[in-house]
Amino acid sequence: MSSGNATAPGPVRTVGAFGAGVVSGLALTSAAAFGLYTLPAALWLPGLRRRVAPGLAGIGPDPTHVALTFDDGPDPAGTPAVLETLDRLGWKATFFLLGSMTSANPSLAAEVAAAGHEIAVHGYAHRGAARRSPAVLADDLLRACDVVGQATGADLRWYRPPYGSVSCGTFTAARRAGVRTVLWSAWGRDWRAEATPATVVADLRAGVLAGGTILLHDSDCTSSPGSWRTTVGALPLLADELDRRGTRPGPLAEHWSQAA
């Protein structure tokens, strides 16, 4: 930190060739370590993820099944409307609940589970992984599992890190918590202010639906205000799209349950 008063620079020190090499080596080592730690973040890119890590992308063996998932709840504004629409369609889904939202709305989290939907965990705080240490990531996930598990009574199997941001620490934290990291193969980008039900389905169509995993949101806690209404409006259109494809939606629990 600089003070308000200017001070004269001190004497210039030279480090010599050996010292410069050490400093340079330390800088490169630090950069390399950071690069290795954050390298998995490249898997956030859907195309790359689908090619090199299909399991992480949520691509299962049955092309007639698509896993339907929702992030960021439970939210008193959006979650009940999503639950009502799913019930009307006769669909079950996987809800990746935030620990912070579950702490604020434990009875609603329990309602999601009671409706027969699969409960998964989205971390406690909605923050990316790249600049969080492995210890912080582990503490965050364990805290989320504790809160979500207590509120719902669910056996938690799946973890989706916020923003789909992953690092080596993400996978270490997931192993420690006993959950499997899964992202998505098709997203509706329903969080955008300019999104409409039609654009949500168009964006999903651009991803992998056959045997894939759909990402939508039942909360606008990290999205444009009221964006959950767009999601609710998109679900009947999505039903038409999946019917045309002969694809049935369901939770992640049944996604890998049978080989193709």
Burial of residue 170 (number of CB atoms within 10 Å: 0-12, 13-18, 19+): buried
Q: Which residues pair with 214 in a beta bridge?
A: 68, 186
Q: Which residues pair with 120 in a beta bridge?
A: 96
Whether residue 217 lies in the annotated active site? yes
Whether residue 220 lies in the annotated active site? no
pLDDT tens, residue by residue, 185-212 = 999 999 999 999 999 999 999 999 999 9
Per-residue pLDDT at 188: 97
- Give me the chain's average pLDDT, please: 83
Domains and CATH numbers, the chain: 44-254 (3.20.20.370)
What does the alpha-carbon distance between residue 231 and residue 225 come to, in Å, rounded to a whole number? 12
Taking residues 31-41, what's their average pLDDT?
A: 40
Q: Which parts of the chain fold into alpha helices (H)? A: 16-38, 46-52, 79-89, 99-104, 106-114, 134-152, 168-177, 197-206, 227-245
Per-residue pLDDT at 47: 53
Q: How confident is the model at residue 232 (pLDDT cuts 50, 70, 90)?
A: very high
Taking residues 166-190, what's their average pLDDT?
A: 93
pLDDT tens, residue by residue, 113-147 = 999 999 999 999 998 877 788 899 999 999 999 99
Q: State the catalytic residue, choosing from 190, 217, 220, 255.
A: 217
Helix, strand, or coil (residue 181) = strand
Q: For residue 64, count other CB atoms closer than 10 A to its CB.
A: 12
Per-residue pLDDT at 162: 92
More confident residue, 9 or 153: 153
Per-residue pLDDT at 115: 98
Torsion of CA 238, 240, 246, 247, to 10 degrees: 20
pLDDT tens, residue by residue, 60-97 = 999 999 999 999 999 999 999 999 999 999 999 999 99
Taking residues 27-34, what's their average pLDDT?
A: 38
Q: State the catalytic residue, choosing from 71, 190, 203, 218.
A: 71
Q: For residue 105, count other CB atoms closer than 10 A to its CB.
A: 21
Helix, strand, or coil (residue 110) = helix
